[in-house]
Structure 1
Amino acid sequence: MATLSFEYDYDFQLIGLYCHFKDYRLAWALNKRFEFDFVKQDPYTITNEEEIQEFSYYTFSIEHQELYYYLLANRSEHGLLIPERKDIDYFIIIDGLYERSKKKEFITQLSTLNEVLSAVEVNPKELRSKQNLLME
């Protein structure tokens, strides 16, 4: 009997942020600089063999453009969301149609924020723990 296998297509944009500020301060800075409206959500939860991990999580959307932004902490009390990128403090996930030229400009602008030490493009397909980034 044939079986159906499903593989998720990681077709979102992913930006890693180096930032020593608390999540609410970073969200505030992003809201102020880019006129976003990030709103804190219930913690983003993943479960591994030993424990449940909760990560700080903010969302913002531009409905008429079908563009969704997620600000997600990479660190929790019990570990890392993406262990192979322990150098990154936060991720911005951009889901929807987003032009590559705009992304490069956005990364440059992110790096100019006082709250952000650096911003880098991350390829989600190259991450071993990429399944932890699947937003539902």
Structure 2
Amino acid sequence: MAIHKLFEDDFEDDTYTLIAIHCSAEDYRLAYLLNSNLNLRLARKEEDLDYNYMEASFSIYEWNDEKNFVKWNLVANTSKKEVEQVASAGSLFSEQTGKRTVSKYLIPEQKRVDYFVKISSENHVKSPKIILSNINAIAEVITAYIVDANQLKSKNNLIFE
């Protein structure tokens, strides 16, 4: 009886380029700036990315460039949520409650990144360096660079379907 092994490469039918963006602007503002400077048509999806049963929600924008067979995604890396904080019963003020903000990350090993742009294509993306230089030319963008997704432990979080 023959033994068949499956390799990770057997499932990789899509190639993509992943760009990390450091930017303090809101997601809708960055989407507008990317649309203006890169001639894109990114639009907010009706539903955000939800992980761990609504524990974290990440905004996502998408555009299918059917002419060039390229899919563009802009996704926030950070999800902030307010949670109730209750003081311990043994404290001086036992009825002390408050709220604190908890941050979750889409790609935890890249905590300093604000947004990711994922450019999916059946072929390799044409001129990623030109795309990168156009993103870096945006005044609100602090820096942008290409990330090797194969080096990420949580690269499965980049599957948006």
Question: Fold match, TM over 0.5?
Answer: yes
Between structures 1 and 2, the one with greater helix share: 1
Which amino acid in 2 is paired with 1:56? S
**What percentage of aligned pairs have identical amino acids?**
31
Corresponding residue SS for 1:36: coil
2:72 corresponding residue in structure 1: 69
Corresponding residue SS for 1:113: coil
**After the TM superposition, which residues 83-98 of structure 1 pair with which residues of structure 2 at under 5 Å, given as runs?**
83-96=108-121, 97=123, 98=125
Task: Please tell me whether the aligned partners of residues 61 and 73 of structure 2 are also in contact (alpha carbons under 8 angstroms).
Answer: yes
1:14 corresponding residue in structure 2: 18
2:34 corresponding residue in structure 1: 30
Matched, 1:45 2:50: yes
Which amino acid in 2 is paired with 1:85? Q
Structural RMSD (CA): 2.0
Cα distance between partner residues in 2 of 1:12 and 1:70: 11
**Structure 2 gap ranges (5+):** 81-102
Which amino acid in 2 is paired with 1:43? D
The structure 1 segments of at least 4 consecutive aligned residues displaced by more than 4 Å after TM superposition are: 1-6
Corresponding residue SS for 1:24: helix
**Structure 1 gap ranges (5+):** none
**Cα offset, 1:52, TM superposition:** 2.7
Query: How many aligned residue pairs are there?
Result: 132
**Cα offset, 1:107, TM superposition:** 0.6
Instruction: Write the deviation string for residues 56-104 of structure 1: whole angstroms up to 9, x where unpaired.
Output: 10001211221000000000024000010011100000000312xx101
**Cα offset, 1:4, TM superposition:** 7.1
- TM-score normalised by structure 1 residue count: 0.88
Which has the greater radius of gyration? 2
Which amino acid in 1 is paired with 2:152? L
Cα distance between partner residues in 2 of 1:4 and 1:52: 36
Between structures 1 and 2, the one with greater strand share: 2
